[in-house]
Structure 1
Amino acid sequence: MTIRDAPPSEVEPRDASRPAGPLGRLGITMSDHRRVVFTVWVLLLIGLGSLAPSVFSSLAGAGWQANGSESVQVRELARSHLGGNSSAAVQVVVHSDTAVFGDPAMLRAVDGIGDVLRGDPRFGEVIAPQPGQSISPDRHTAIVIAGAAADTDAMVSAVDDHKAALSALSRDGVEVYPTGASALWSDFNTANHDAMITAELFSWPVTLAIMVLAFGSLVAAGLPLLLTIAGLVASAGGLVLLNEVTPISVWAMNFAMMFALALGIDYALFIVSRFRDATGRTDPRTAVRETMDTAGKAVVLSGLTVLVSLSAVLLVPAPAVRTMAVGIMLAVGFVLLATMTLLPAALGGLGSRVDAGSLPWARDRELRSPAFTRWGMLMHRHPWPFGLAALGILVALSIPVVGLTVAMPSISVVPEDAAVRQGYSVVAQEFGPGAPGALQIVTPAADVAATVVAAHGTGIASVTPPQAASDGSGYVFLEAIPAVDPSSPRMGSILDGLRERLPADALVGGAAAENLDLQTALDDNLPMVVGIILLLGFVLLLVALQAPLIAVLGTVVSLLSTGAAFGVARLIFQDGHGSGLLGFTPQGFLDGWGPVFFFAMIFAIAMDYTVFLLATAKEHFERTGDPVQAQVDGLAHSGRVILAAAAVMVAVFLTFALSDPLPPKEMGIVLGVAVLLDATLVRLMLLPVLLRLTGRAAWWSPSWLRRVLPDIRFAH
């Protein structure tokens, strides 16, 4: 028996007449006790809002490492036994085109660096420039090394506190540049913060304009923004509190702000649109109940889909990646809480006044869109041309994924005028291209001779003299200077070859090794993360829709927009198409954290729209039992909301394309392209076509499955 031949009893709609569900009752409670709800939220926002302004200065600045990796072990050993001369140490470059080391101007700069750094307990041993190691052959460049006596996050903060004083030592023809991994993250985080503020300044006015056009009412347009602001303030304060328990990457706030704005508006659009439709035919209290029982249910399921998708990222053993996911999940949680409590309370109080300030051309508040009704009928009559066109475009854009290359970001992620980049360039020019990416080796004293011999191998330009730990631990430290730039594709094979040659107890680390170990961890965990996200996404759709076929199709088509977005990412960021227009120099690869994190975010957003569309279609199928009505009315009632929500998301994400640092630019463009493709080609074309082609089979479910799954219905 085929699915289409299923017994009528298994495809007919259930009885839609029922009392208010849990969310309907919650909405009524929030509406009836709105003064209490408002008071609680005001107190919550005052409490968390008092912490929010310190979010950027409080959050951690590093965390880009693979926990448990060999390179992290080397860093911890260097911190404990070798004066902190690890990848987190700060190298302060002193350079002059005219003076040489030993001249008064150079010596004054070196002494000044010592005076600035020795008073801070976060710095370990301050090592003066050493001939043959940290003084260039022409003596025009010298490097002062300040060991790391604290963890990587504290070292970034230490650079934040002292880099202005260090740069102020530049005078009398001598330039002073703090550089190294800690300085890199300090300068990058500063540039990233500035880029985010610029992006937000652009996105808010655009968002408000889209909201006004979508609702045609100033009050209705303002509700999503107020909801989003509440979620943003609460999540920012929450991140500050959470940072007291465990270090949270400052990047978490970037993503939290983006998702709070995008999803907060998504959810509010769906709820407010449904409420406006209901107030045209019933009282405000009943309208709140109906809205929460239908649109509210879809929003909860959508939020859960986002949360479970991002939870898979927590499996990656990298603190920065994990805490970025935590930041988004916290923001989504607060936005969801506000949507379920604050928004119904506000709607119950406003009632029909939700349309106050309506624009002259937008008096009609009916949820059903005539334009999308016609669009749905057009695809019903001609499904194949639309389906094949959408599928062809998505597949064509996905093909470049085959040649996608990923690697950890290079020094080019910071602006050219950043002190760390200028210092990096000086070190590479004076000491060789591999000097900024020195590989640090820690070995027991008994293996020193064998380690020195093995370190001189393919891809290594030079090896520094061994230095024994002064604490009697028996460890010896030396550096192998690669013959290539740290961002060269050859670095991976050079590191692997070095590790293979060294004695078993010798460990290799350094900033370049930490990047490569993190990239390995990301690559190794990617299949597991993708598999878990797909499985959880399917299960949630199955529970929500109670129909196996459409749950499978909804999950699979979400992969198309994800693949297309990564294909576009390769064309732009790896191959450099459009780089001149976007104002960046391509690195020749996509940043290594992109596949894991972007996949989780894109899939979460895609499933967000999937739930909105299919929940609406399921509601109409439950009411009528007619798959044609479900397909057309599902699109007629949700198409305008999906399009408006997508426009807001695209506007929010693409404003990050204006930033100078490359990672936020990648993030904004990849996510913006993904949302644009998903909303237009997948949700408004391909998925409705699949509903048309599968017909009643899309909503069929075997009786045993219906008994196992919870009874979730959307018809009111």
Structure 2
Amino acid sequence: MTTAQPALAQKDASAPHAPPGLLGRLGVWATTRLRVVLVLWLALVAGLGAFAPQVTSALAGAGWQANGSQSVQVRELAQRHFSGNASSALQVVVTADRQVSDPAVQKTIAKATDLLKADPRISDVLAPQQGATISRDGKTAVLLAGAAADTNDMVRAADDLKKPLAALSGDGVTLAATGASVMWSDFNTANHDSMMHSEMISWPVTMAILVLAFGSLVAAGLPLLLTIAGLAASAGALVLLNHLTPTSIWAMNFAMMFALALGIDYALFLVVRFRAALARHGSPVRAVAETMDTAGKAVALSGLTVLVSLSAVMLVPAPAFRSMALGIMLAVVFVLAATLTLLPAVLGRLGTRINAASLPLARPASDGDGSSPRFTAWGERLWRHPFRYGVPALLVLVALAAPVIGLRTAMPSITVVPEGNSSRVGYEAVQKAFGEGAPGTLQIITPSGDAARVARQIADNSGIAAVMPAADATDDSGLAMIQAVPLADPSDPALADTVHTLRNGLPDKTLVGGAAVENLDLQQTLEDKTPLVMGIVLVLGFLLLVVALQAPLVALIGTVTNLLATAGAFGAARLIFQDGHGAGLLGFTPQGFLDGWAPVFFFAMIFAIAMDYTVFLLSTAKEHYEKTGDPRTAAVAALGHSGRVILAAAAVMVAVFFTFALSDSLPPKEMGIVLGVAVLLDAALVRLILLPVLLRLTGRAAWHTPAWLRPVLPDIHFSHG
């Protein structure tokens, strides 16, 4: 097949260049005012960065709840009206080799009581009660420390108290703090440590890939400039935000990850384009203007799509989810701002020195226009043989996506907390002494007048092992609390059936809660909101592509192909984490499900990253289609100019994400594998094979703008000059 003649003649290189557009003018301004730009960014980073050291201690450790749910209402009522005996209270499990009534054991319990009472975040400390919190054999007792603070402060209390309490152990007596607050304390610590360890491992690999991708040590350092600026600013901003609303510590972890990933993506795209423009024009200022009007426009669109994708997560009424999404969005805003101002200023000043400290073996081959000969040749091959490569790629994606049909999700069990941690030790001691369902004790709050009838109904439920006597509120609220021990372990699906039956059968104004029920309510909320979040992400992503590319069909192709890689990643997650394939190799015990937050949160993250690559590829194709009117030139040039960028950026992300698969903790392992597989599939099969093939099959139709749509679209072009 011969190459079609361009419908629009390409402009002569010697012709006067067109004035730069909005982003081009911004780039020229930044280049000619480097000192001003540097001072502004130094002031911003120093001002916000001054708060950054507080980030690990200031940010919140709780927030994993469904706001407005029955269980959250029960916790709030219990804290106000029942001396802090809420799900966020601390439980200190005392196990002894003799009766807990022994004077030596009682002395240890007294020391623990004094330690707890000395903390202002603890309200009343309830001594172990025979028949309720002392085991039948008399060798295990539970000391209850009521919550006098919100859930985040109770997690901090657990951080501070669990080790001093454990230090009281000795002489045949063991103390272990447990309960929801201690579990979140242990969970956050273990996962934060695992993520930091994985990130340290990933840095050498990341730097090696950057040097290979950029070809010089100077250019390879530019993503670090964006990452440091974005991270320092977003970390400080998160600390300030935490004064307005509790912000999860996980927000910083994810912000760090996205700042690095997007800093690399954006720097790669702009540096490659800048080098090509500089080779053509010789003028750094003119090269910056062209770079910003083309690649800069794509970066701005990419950042906007990432922000839109993550903003949909804010619809989930769970503080942890909202603050994590907000943390990533802050990092994206700062990295994007640095990319559009600080990076062009530095590029303009560096000029040809961008290639300083080049490594001959690492310097990528390039044609005079900045395209990669290898990826150009690959684009030509895909154009000539679309079905030879497109069909196998599609079959692999469909095969990996098929298992997603049987994917199950649930909130994590206690097994995600490392063995030997306080909350897990106490949890297992409570189960051994009081029964399988004791760690998930239900709290039922009802009007005092209904307490006797409600207690009988609870006792008649086949899923309940024991019911404790009703306790009246400590004030005149007229409420009573009944605690019931279920038969099932808190992670057993049977507990959800028990809670559902109780809620449907108990009188009005009776609320069922407890720590385990909070997890169930959060899981239900996630299941309810996931379709809405996914739908909004897809629709807004499609509309943004329509506006940017001015063509509904190519926007639809870009959006739908994003789903294939996402579905393939979740299909692989089901095989690994639910069915346990490869569990021995990866070093974990499968729970039989994927953690409940994965679908909604990981979907938004994967879609954001996939849209990043989609925008890079399709904006480049659009640029060449605007110049030539030839779909073949557009498709081939898109791969030639952006294929290497996509591959290098994906290689860095895959390396970073897969290092999380080495984590001891299960949640980072899940995140690393799901996101790593998604990026691998998206880059290798979707962006570098399937999407170009679909551009080949749809031809000019892909770029057609219906007449009725033109008047409502803004005038956006990616070509320059």
TM (norm. structure 2) is 0.96
- Matched with 1:677 is 681
| 1:433 and 1:485 in contact (8 A); partners too | yes
Matched, 1:548 2:547: no
Residue deviations 1:138-184 (CA, integer Å, cap 9, x gap): 11111000011111001001111112211111111111101000000
Determine the C-alpha separation between the residues in 2 that align with 1:14 and 1:592.
53
- C-alpha contact (below 8 Å) 1:302/1:611 kept by paired residues: yes
Match of 1:614 in 2: 618
Give unmatched runs, 5+ long, in structure 1.
Answer: 1-7
Within 5 Å, give how 1:341-352 maps onto structure 2.
341-352=341-352
Aligned length: 707
Is 1:320 paired with 2:320?
A: yes
Report the Cα distance in structure 2 between the residues aligned to 1:494 and 1:140, rounded to whole angstroms: 30
SS where residue 604 of structure 1 aligns? helix
- 2:409 aligns with 406
Q: CA deviation at 1:14?
A: 11
Q: Which moved more, 1:673-682 or 1:492-501?
A: 492-501
C-alpha change, 1:21 and 1:15, in structure 2 (3 Å) is farther
What SS does structure 2 have at the residue aligned with 1:304?
Answer: helix
Note the 1:422-501 alignment, pairs <5 A: 422-456=425-459, 457-501=461-505
CA deviations on 1:386-426 (whole Å, 9 max, x unpaired) are 11111100000001011100001111111112111011001
Displacement after TM superposition at 1:706 (Å): 2.0
Partners of 2:621 and 2:342 in 1: CA distance: 27
Equivalence map 1:141-152=2 (5 Å): 141-152=140-151
The AA in structure 1 aligned to 2:361 is W
**In 1, are the aligned partners of 2:211 and 2:362 still within 8 Å (CA)?**
no
2:41 maps to what in 1? 41
Paired residue type of 2:394: L
Instruction: Name the residue aligned to 1:184.
Output: 183
1:66 matched to which residue of 2? Answer: 66
Q: Which residue of 1 aligns with 2:153?
A: 154
Is 1:525 the counterpart of 2:513? The answer is: no
Give 1:504's aligned residue.
508
Residue 166 (structure 2) aligns with:
167
Tell me the secondary structure at the aligned position of residue 177 of structure 2.
strand
The letter for the 2-side match of 1:313 is V
Distance 1:60 1:660 in 2: 23
Correspondence for 1:246: 245
The yes-or-no answer on 1:231 pairing with 2:230 is: yes
Cα distance in 1 between the residues matched to 2:667 and 2:477: 41
Between 669-678 and 120-129, report the one with greater CA deviation.
120-129
Distance 1:107 1:13, change over 3 A: farther
CA distance in 1, matches of 2:46, 2:202: 25
1:640 to 636, 644, 650: 644
C-alpha separation in 1, matches of 2:470 and 2:74: 15
Report the counterpart of residue 308 of structure 1 in structure 2: 308
Equivalent pair of 1:276/1:365 in contact (CA under 8 Å): no
3-state SS in 2 of match to 1:281: helix
* C-alpha distance in 2 between matches for 1:518 and 1:656: 25
Verify the 8 A CA contact 2:366 2:372 in the aligned structure 1.
no
Does the residue aligned with 1:586 lie in a helix, a strand or coil?
coil
Q: Distance in 2 between matches of 1:15 and 1:549?
A: 28
Deviation at 1:365, TM superposition (A): 5.7
State the SS of the aligned residue for 1:461: strand
TM-score normalised over the length of structure 1:
0.97
Question: Could you list the per-position Cα deviations for residues 181-206 of structure 1 after superposition, in whole angstroms to 9, with x for gaps in the alignment?
Answer: 00000111111121121011111111
1:489 offset after TM fit, Å? Answer: 1.3
Amino acid at match of 1:539: L
1:15, 1:117 → 2: CA distance? Answer: 78
Equivalent residue letter for 2:143? V
Supply the AA of the counterpart residue of 2:506: L
1:581 to 580, 585, 593: 585
Structure 1 residue identity aligned to 2:159: D
Aligned twin of 2:699: 695
Quickly say closer, same or farther: Cα 1:182–1:93, change in 2 above 3 A.
Answer: same
Once the two structures are superposed, the pairs formed by residues 186-201 of structure 1 within 5 Å of their partners are 186-201=185-200
- Name the SS for the 2:142 alignment partner: strand
Question: For 1:535-585, what per-residue CA distance to the aligned partner results, in whole angstroms no more than 9, with x for missing partners?
Answer: 000000001100111001110110000100000010111111111111111
Shift of 1:471: 1.2
Secondary structure of 1:490's counterpart equals helix
| Whole-Å separation in 1 of the counterparts to 2:690 and 2:664 | 36
Preserved CA contact (<8 Å) 2:158 2:181: yes
- The aligned residue for residue 5 of structure 1 is none
2:216 paired residue number: 217
Alignment correspondent of 1:649? 653
Distance 1:14 1:575 in 2: 56
Distance 1:668 1:239 in 2: 24
Greater displacement, 46-55 / 342-351: 46-55
Report the 3-state secondary structure (helix = DSSP H, G, I; strand = E; otherwise coil) of the residue aligned with 2:144: strand
**Conserved 8 A contact 1:455-1:501:** no
Q: Is the contact between residue 8 and residue 627 of structure 2 (CA under 8 Å) also seen in structure 1?
A: no
Task: Indicate the SS of the match to 2:709.
Answer: helix
Percent identity of equivalent pairs:
65
Deviations 1:196-236 (A, max 9, x none): 21011111111110000111100001111221121111111
Amino acid at match of 1:429: K
Deviation at 1:12, TM superposition (A): 6.9
In structure 2, relative to structure 1, the CA distance for the partners of 1:14 and 1:514 (3 Å cut) is: farther
Give CA-to-partner distance per residue, 1:410-469, whole Å, 9 cap, x none: 111111121110110010111001000011011110101111111111211111111111
SS in 2 for 1:201: helix
Q: CA deviation at 1:705?
A: 1.5
Instruction: Extract unaligned runs of 5+ from structure 2.
Output: none
For structure 1, which segment, 164-173 or 669-678, has the greater mean C-alpha deviation from structure 2 after superposition? 164-173
Task: Find the aligned partners of 1:470 and 1:640 in 2 and give their Cα distance.
Answer: 68
1:704 aligned counterpart, secondary structure: coil
Q: Give the Å deviation of 1:502.
A: 1.3
Is the 8 Å Cα contact of residues 28 and 288 (structure 1) preserved in structure 2? yes
1:40-68 CA-to-partner distances (Å, cap 9, x unmatched) read 11122122222112211110000011000
The alpha carbon displacement at 1:500 in A equals: 1.6
Distance in 2 between residues matched to 1:204 and 1:184, nearest whole Å = 30
Per the TM alignment, residue 74 of structure 1 is displaced from its structure 2 partner at its CA by 0.3
Partner of 1:3: none
Distance 1:304 1:13, change over 3 A: farther
Find the counterpart in structure 2 of residue 280 from structure 1.
279
Secondary structure, in 3 states, of the residue corresponding to 1:703? coil
Q: Give the deviation of 1:293 after TM superposition.
A: 0.5
Q: In the aligned structure 1, how far is the partner of 2:362 from the partner of 2:478?
A: 78
Residue 13 of structure 1, CA deviation: 9.4
Q: Does the 8 Å CA contact 1:109/1:169 hold for their aligned counterparts?
A: yes
- Cα distance, 1:704 vs structure 2: 2.9
Q: Deviations over 1:577-596 (max 9, x none)?
A: 11111111111100111111
Give the conservation status (yes or no) of the 8 Å contact 2:60–2:247.
yes
Equivalent pair of 1:562/1:599 in contact (CA under 8 Å): yes
Contact 1:461–1:481 (8 Å) recurs in 2: yes
- 2:264: which partner in 1? 265
Q: Deviations over 1:674-697 (max 9, x none)?
A: 000000000000000000111111
TM-superposed CA distance for 1:501, in Å, is 2.0
Give 1:109's aligned residue: 108
Q: CA deviation at 1:362?
A: 4.6
- The answer to whether the 8 A contact 2:366-2:373 is kept is no
Partner amino acid, structure 2, of 1:254: N
What residue identity is the alignment partner of 1:314? M
Structure 1 residue 15: deviation in Å? 9.5
1:703 Cα deviation after fit: 2.6
- Relative distance call for 1:485 and 1:44 in structure 2 (3 A) is same
Deviates further, 83-92 or 107-116: 107-116
**Matches of 2:53 and 2:94, distance apart in 1:** 36
Residue pair 1:128, 1:144 contacting (<8 A) in 2 also:
yes
